[in-house]
Chain A
Amino acid sequence: MNAPANMDSKLWDYIDGISPDSEKPAIEELIQTDSRWRSRYFNLLQIRELLQAQEPEVPSMRFTKKVMEEIARYNILKATNKYLNNKIIFGIAAFFLVLITGMLIYFFATANWGGGSNVHIPEFSNWNLSKYINTSVLQVVMFLNVILGLFLLDRYLGRRKRQLRSQKS
């Protein structure tokens, strides 16, 4: 704790009020009893006071007027979180939920609960896939893909537009 760098670090944190509560009594005691710590403490305290007393730079008198003239040309944009339509997000979630639930129902319905050793594993080769995958199902899947694609494209273009706008302004 007595190394100069460590001393400075502890004292800065103590002065700035960011040192851990557990360390504070020890630092206070060192300031009281150790002349090196006390001298350094007042040294850093002085620098801190000077830092805090620094006046900020002041822009020109017309600054506020210029900003107000500039913003008169614009409207406040809609909040970013409102770009995302919750209905679409819920729709996608519902789709996957229905899909997973359907698969689970099918699995439990076809499972053989009869005995432990006679577990019936359905043979995939015997499955009649054409019963489940027909033209209508494919069309629905394709339609959903197109919707998802358009949604992602819209998000991408929206982001690009905002980036361009912020670069111009």
Chain B
Amino acid sequence: MDDGIADNEIIRRVIQGEQNAYAELVTRYQNYVFTLVLKYVPRREDAEELAQDVFVKAYRFLSDFKGETARFSTWLYTITQNTCFSYLRKKRLPIDSLDDDKSRPGMEQLEWQAGEQRLEQQFRQNTIKEAMKLLSPSDTSILTLFYNAEQNLDEIAMILRIDPNTAKVRLHRARQRLKEKLEIHWSNEINEMI
């Protein structure tokens, strides 16, 4: 995501007092930060506020970022993860309460909605998106970090503060769960896809 000027160059300029340069970093990473926050905080208004907090925190602690040891995106996603966990703790919401299907509110409604959409659109992307909604926040965030946010296993380990091997295991489990959801809820579509 280093289109144009490299992240580190922008950071250097921001630290030197060019505050407006920070807007470029916000524009570059806002979508993935927002996407990651949405995994934990489903209400878009809350998620947007939290994503803003992430960028404000990142700005204030920008001097702590060590460009030679990590990418800015990895550092930013670490702040995102920590901010989400603090928010959930403050709101006294369990961090991974959505791991279990039974504990997920509105699951049947979601399936019904997904079914409706499926009939209307027969849209592959939608199928994956809906299947992702049935996973726990930790599963979806690891899948998003790996497949969309271009983070490798070592970087994911850094973000989640876990061992790289644990990250690999978690990624594997998340993929398996996604596959299971696809097979259980959208087996026909999967067969059509392939």
Contacts and interface: CB of A to CB of B under 8 A. Distances in A.
B34 A78 contact: no
Contacts of A48: 147
Given A46-B194, A54-B125, A54-B147, A18 B168 contact: yes
Chain A at the B interface: SS class? helix
B148 A54 contact: yes
Contacts, number: 126
B157 to A, nearest CB: 13
A76 B14 contact: yes
B86 to A, nearest CB: 8
A166 B168 contact: no
A125 interface: no
Interface residues of A, number: 45
A1 interface: no
Interface string A20-48: 00000000000000000001001110111
Interface of A: 5, 8-9, 12-13, 16, 18, 39, 42-44, 46-48, 50-60, 63-64, 66-68, 70-72, 74-82, 166-167, 169
Interface of B: 14-15, 19-20, 22-23, 26-27, 30-32, 34-35, 38, 47-48, 51-53, 55-57, 59-64, 86, 90, 124-125, 127-129, 132, 143-144, 146-148, 153, 168, 172, 175-176, 178-179, 182, 190, 193-194
